[in-house]
Amino acid sequence: MASKHPVISDKEAEHITRAEELAYELRIQEVMTEDVFCLEPEMKMETALDIFQKEHFSGAPVVKDGHLLGILSIEDLIRALRENNMDVAVQEYMTTNLVTVRKLDPVVEALKTFSQTNFGRLPVMDENGTLVGIITKGDISNGLLRALQRDYHAEELIRYRASHLFEDIVSGRTSLILRYDIRKGDFTHGGNASSNIKRALLRLGATPQVARRCGIAVYEAEMNLIIHTTHGGTLRVEIEPHKITMEAYDDGPGIEDVDQAMRPGYSTATNEVREMGFGAGMGLVNIKRCVDEMRLISSLERGTNLYMIIYLNDDDTNPKTIQ
């Protein structure tokens, strides 16, 4: 058992699709066909053929007094036709070797049974062993599609709610604050905070342009914390309906000459850092270009505080707006 079902690693789990997940979440009764047309065992094959033709059935359960006796499929009808034996009762040709599934089992159980057998349809039983429906692969596809559709609407709803957050909540001054601790030298996660901030802004309904400007400014600030600080620092983003205030602060070592640091091309980055593509001396210059207001306060005793503000609902005359 253990060797047959090895544990799925996190890496593999990444590739599990939402449809596969749903196969475990959905129950058979949610996707099966209820109110199934049932045949009686004494019914003639001829009659069954007429019904199948008229109703476009490819199979139907055979039931007597509420008990499932078998399944008659098109294949059984063909067999009877070939043997020219259409006058006999359905119970002569029906499949009695029954494989059933339970209505409360997850859909994946039905999928497994389909792959292990050649059956095109499976009777679905309740806890008392009474037939409550039939499930086909088509039912499963339709059920999964419906569930994916529901997921999609739910995601749209989340987006809608997030983008109306500020309208829904009334206060004297509403704001949403995001905080990220940035570790010194953590190049592996460099850019994660800025990516997350950009995504949050898009969800909240910011335009792609505003989200991109914030993303670039915060990215440069984030990389500065990773590259230049003694112990790392903190990014704090406060989102209000009319403006976004971004703040990067650390406890050292501080910038000796702020004017010099603001000069394009000036950099104190080490050679190792430069080899990774940093240290162009453009970080602060980039930030200035992306935001509406920028303030850099630094001292060798207290470290550095960088404030960046982007105003929203600006008419598009702002020369600093990029693309």
Q: Which two tokens stand for residue 84?
A: 């020219």
Q: Is 229 among the residues that bind other proteins (CB under 8 A)?
A: no
138 vs 185, which CB is nearer to other proteins? 185
With contacts defined by CB under 8 A, name the span among 118-126, 155-163, 182-190, 245-253 that binds other proteins: 182-190
Q: Report how many residues bind other proteins under the rule CB under 8 A.
A: 27
With contacts defined by CB under 8 A, name the span among 43-51, 72-80, 175-183, 185-193 that binds other proteins: 185-193
Q: Is 223 among the residues that bind other proteins (CB under 8 A)?
A: yes
Q: Is 38 among the residues that bind other proteins (CB under 8 A)?
A: no
Q: Is 283 among the residues that bind other proteins (CB under 8 A)?
A: yes
The dihedral sign for the CA sequence 277, 281, 283, 286: negative
Binds other proteins by CB under 8 A, chosen from 52, 166, 219, 249: 219
Alpha-carbon gap, residue 219 to 280, rounded angstroms = 14
Binds other proteins by CB under 8 A, chosen from 73, 91, 136, 194: 194
Q: Is 143 among the residues that bind other proteins (CB under 8 A)?
A: no
Q: Is 185 among the residues that bind other proteins (CB under 8 A)?
A: no
Q: Is 176 among the residues that bind other proteins (CB under 8 A)?
A: no
Residues that bind other proteins (CB under 8 A): 187-188, 190-192, 194-195, 198, 208, 212, 215-216, 219-220, 223, 276-283, 285-286, 289, 323
